[in-house]
Amino acid sequence: MSARNVLGTALEPCCHDPLTGFYRDGYCRVGPDDLGVHAICAEVTAEFLAFSAGRGNDLATPRPEFGFAGLAPGDRWCLCAARWQEALEGGCAPRVRLLATHEAALEVVALADLKRHALDLS
C-alpha cells in the first residue's frame, strides 16, 4: 500500500534539495522507526527556525558530519508533527504543503489547522 497524504491521495514529494524526510528520500514518509513522526512538509521561515532552535533543535546550523547543510528560510523540510503543533500554539507555524504531508500528521495536528497554513489550496 502506498503512503497517503492528509487529503487521502498519494503522498507527493516534499523536497529533494535539500533532501528531506526521515528516510532522506524527499518524502515525509512515516514508519515504525520514525518516533518523531516527521510527517509535515513545511516551508520554513526565519521565525520558525529560531523557534525550533530555542526548543533544542537547531535546523539552521550546518552539520557536515551528518551531511546536513542547514536550512534557510524558504526551504521545505519534513517536520515532526508535534513540533509543528508547538509552533502553531506559539504563533509561528510555517506554511505546509498538504499533498506532501503524510496522513500520520492527523494523529497530532487538526486538518483544519493544516489547511489554514496550506501552500497548495486554491
Of the two residues 16 and 122, the one the predictor is more confident about is 16
Domain encompassing residue 21: 1-121
Q: What is the CATH number of the domain that holds 8?
A: 3.30.56.110
Task: Collect all residues with Cβ–Cβ distance below 8 Å to 94 and sequence separation of at least 6.
Answer: 42, 43, 44, 45, 48, 79, 84, 87, 117
Dist. CA 95–CA 79, nearest whole Å: 11
pLDDT of residue 84: 97
User: pLDDT, tens digit, for every residue of 39-83?
Assistant: 999 999 999 999 999 999 999 999 999 888 999 999 999 999 999
Give the residue-averaged pLDDT of 96-119: 97
| Percent share of the chain, pLDDT over 70 | 98
Query: What is this structure's pTM?
Result: 0.94
How many domains in the chain? 1
**pLDDT score of 122:** 63
